[in-house]
Chains A and B, each alone.
Chain A
Amino acid sequence: MNRKADKPATAMPFDPGRRSFLAGTAATAGVALAPGIFLYSVGASRSAEARALDEAASSEVRWGMLIDVNRCDSGCNDCVSACVTENGLQGHGRPATDPQWIRKIDLRDPNTGREQSLPVMCQHCDEPPCVDVCPTGASFKRADGIVLVNKHTCIGCRYCISACPYKARSFVHETLEDQKSYAPRGKGTVESCTLCVHRIDDDRQPACVEACSDTGGGAMLFGDLNNPDSEIARRVAQYASQQIRADLGLNPAVRYRNL
């Protein structure tokens, strides 16, 4: 085939049917789509209440947690209950889709039979995979190391849930009611433990840590890992502690003793 032969013919007759076909199609599409657009505007969920980021966050601080597994009782769920109450996470009785920001995991060593129990939540990684994969930057790490989700720019793609090695994130599957003003959530967005950032900014401890100290085994210690004079920094310097899946090199801010 030569170049000339490849050229399209110009002798095709004008097709009057095309114009009427296009007009008809456009009208049909308009009629079909208009109710959908209207319904969508009715059905769209309300946005979560906006909340300004605290300007006091400083990179000189790294908030973290040290959890002594020996002091964590298998039957105790106080940290989980405190989190649910504090952040308004009441579920709908559907465990597969109800969110969990913190959960108790029971461990058993199959070789020795030793059993342990420990709380697992967002580990607030130094190199968080959820932040790396988020297409819009809604997953972000605050200067003080707290990993959060911006509820205004999360599009609900769930890539961060797939990327998190700790299964720490939940997708909001249902319409929300009675939200806490300090812990805004959003249907169709992803969420996880905020380390009770609203409390931290108010110079208080996370709810789980407070509950563990008040009614639990006192297994959880919260503080600034960067401050050598803090209790948590002294303890991690003095005693052996470990991070979950340390092999991944993410440097989580949550550490465990006696694991």
Chain B
Amino acid sequence: MKRTIYSEIDGKSGRFYLLAAVLAALTLSGFVAALYMEHYGHYITGMNNQIVWGLPHVFAIFLIVAASGALNVASIGTVFGKRIYKPLGRFSGLLALALLLGGLTVLVLDLGRPDRLIVAMTTYNFTSIFAWNIYLYVGFIGVVAVYLWMQMERRMNRYARAAGMLAFLWRLVLTTGTGSIFGFLVAREAYDSAIMAPLFIAMSFSFGLAIYVLVLLAACHGSGREIGDAVLRRLGRLLGVFVAVVLYFTAVQHLTNLYAAEHLGVERFILLDGGIFTVLFWGVQVTVGGLLPLLLLFRSPPVNSVVSARGLVIACLAIVAGGFAQVYVIVIGGQAWPLNLFPDREVSSSFYDGVISNYSPSLPELGLGLGGVALTGLIVLFGIRILRFLPTTLADSAIDPNFVSSADKS
């Protein structure tokens, strides 16, 4: 096993500039979409007084949840001492920061008054999990930045483990905070559950690692860096475990709700006759995002590395699609189900009481959400262009402590 050498990507090719231009254009269109929404007001979006959080929140929450999960690769290397993961740590920190910044940007730009961000940063109500999350998100950026410094500055390497431990604990608290946004909503039947916090942590492990693998493969492929089978196999198996844990928590979430007669209505809505939400739940979240990746990741490991990488990429894409659907079902589906003011009566009003609400996402919302994704990509691209986040090679011979060359075998 050799010493790990990191380097910036070359960034002189036409492909690099094309990718940068596309990401910059998408980011810019996201800002324009936000400006359009703020100028005319949210009535031009699909959101209304029933579904107050729409597609931008789905993007934002997905990215923020994935951000904390993307940091796990670094944690496994420095905190849990798995050597093969160590060369992957810097890139893990960069991706975590980029995902969080992308998600937060979408979240902030969808506020009714994004110009009052300074108010949110200076005026706190400490009974609000939202206010705590502002600390947790900003703190995460600081903690990960320090963690990266400890990893990248040779003289500070000895503190990397301590910084990594702090970052790992911080990310657990952060995702607990994100899940609790929903867990603390006592009047909403689809939320109001302590399981939202561990469910979101499981989701972050899964979504974050899937995105990490995809972006790592793209970065290595694009910059002509080798990536070995051993590391891909390990990442794949770990990802499989995370997918199974998400399915487990999802099952417990719904079984617990099904046991309470008062929640049968909302469960029936999501699981059986909720239209798009039922399709997204069973079709995309469970089948595409859960069962398919499990099948791909736990079948007997193929010998051919090309097949291995392809299977892993499909599994990761499926997890991202399923994860996005899961957040959509939680955020939009949970709001679509009406509040129950009078549990034993049939109700009607001019304000949509007792009615399942409709939501059709608008183009500006999609533009804003995609802008956040593009901003994440732009930060990663910019980061690996100017700093040494990526190892020059991730070949088995370079990073696998158990590597035995074929010459030694014979």
Would A105 and B35 be within 8 Å (CB), given that A134-B125, A171-B52, A172-B112 are in contact? Answer: no
Which A residues lie within 8 Å of B134 (CB)? 135
- Is A36 a contact partner of B386 (Cβ separation < 8 A)? no
- A162 on the B face (CB < 8 A): yes
Q: Is the CB of B39 within 8 A of A43?
A: yes
CB distance from A114 to the nearest CB of B (A): 9
How far is B123's CA from A170's CA once the two chains are assembled, in angstroms?
Answer: 22
A36 with B113: in contact, given A103-B350, A104-B349 (CB under 8 Å)? no
A164 vs B123: C-alpha distance in the bound complex, in angstroms? 22
With A18-B385, A156-B112 already in contact, the answer to whether A137 and B124 are too (CB < 8 A) is yes
CB of A194 within 8 A of chain B?
no
A129 and B116 form a contact (CB under 8 A): no
Given A44-B115, A156-B112, A132–B52 Cβ distance below 8 Å?
no
Residue B255 is within 8 A (CB to CB) of chain A in the complex: no
B7's contact among A12, A99, A111, by CB below 8 Å, is which?
A: A12
Give the segment of A184-192, A208-216, A221-229 that binds chain B. Answer: A184-192
Interface string of B6-34 (1 = CB under 8 A from A): 11100110000000000010001001100
Does B353 make an interface contact (CB < 8 A)? yes
Closest chain A residue, CB of each to CB of B116: A155
In the complex, what residues of A have CB within 8 A of residue B335's CB?
A: 162
Q: Kindly identify, within residues 148 to 171 of chain B, every residue whose CB is under 8 Å from any CB belonging to chain A.
A: 152, 154, 157
Name A's interface SS: loop
Q: Which of A1-9, A56-64, A196-204, A232-240 contacts B (4 or more CB under 8 A)?
A: A1-9
Mark contacts of A84-125 with chain B using CB atoms, 8 A cut-off: 1 yes-contact digit, 0 otherwise.
000000001011111110011111111100000000100000
Whether, in the assembled complex, B237 has its beta carbon less than 8 Å from a beta carbon of chain A, the answer is: no
Q: Is A49 an interface residue (CB 8 A)?
A: no
Q: Which residues of A contact B185 (CB under 8 A)?
A: 133, 162-163
Compute how far the CA of A35 lies from the CA of B121 in the bound complex, rounded to whole angstroms. Answer: 25
Min CB distance B109 to A, Å, is: 11
Q: Give the bracket for the number of chain B residues in contact with chain A.
A: 35 or more
A161 at the B interface (CB under 8 A): yes
Contact B388 A8 (CB under 8 A): yes
In the bound complex, CA of A138 to CA of B42 (Å): 20
- Using an 8 Å CB-CB cutoff, how does the interface string of A144-166 with B read, 1 for contact, 0 for none? 00000000011111110111111
Contact B48 A106 (CB under 8 A): no
Q: How far is the CA of A133 from the CA of B182 in the complex (A)?
A: 11
- Inter-chain contact A165/B2, CB cutoff 8 Å: no
Asked if A170 and B49 make an inter-chain contact with CB atoms under 8 angstroms apart, the answer reads yes
| Chain A residues with CB under 8 A of B28 | 32, 36
Cα distance A153–B177 in the bound complex, in angstroms: 23
- 8 Å CB contact of B345 from A109, A163, A190: A109
**A17 / chain B contacts, CB cutoff of 8 Å:** 11-12
Instruction: Kindly provide the distance from the CB of A77 to the nearest chain B CB, expressed in whole angstroms.
Output: 9
Task: Select one of B7, B11, B116, B129 contacting A153, CB under 8 A.
Answer: B116
Instruction: List 10 other contacts, CB 8 Å, given A8-B154, A18-B8, A155-B120.
Output: A9-B3, A36-B28, A97-B43, A134-B128, A153-B119, A173-B42, A187-B41, A187-B112, A245-B187, A248-B187
7 contacts between A and B (CB under 8 A): A21-B11, A43-B39, A103-B353, A108-B345, A161-B52, A167-B351, A248-B187
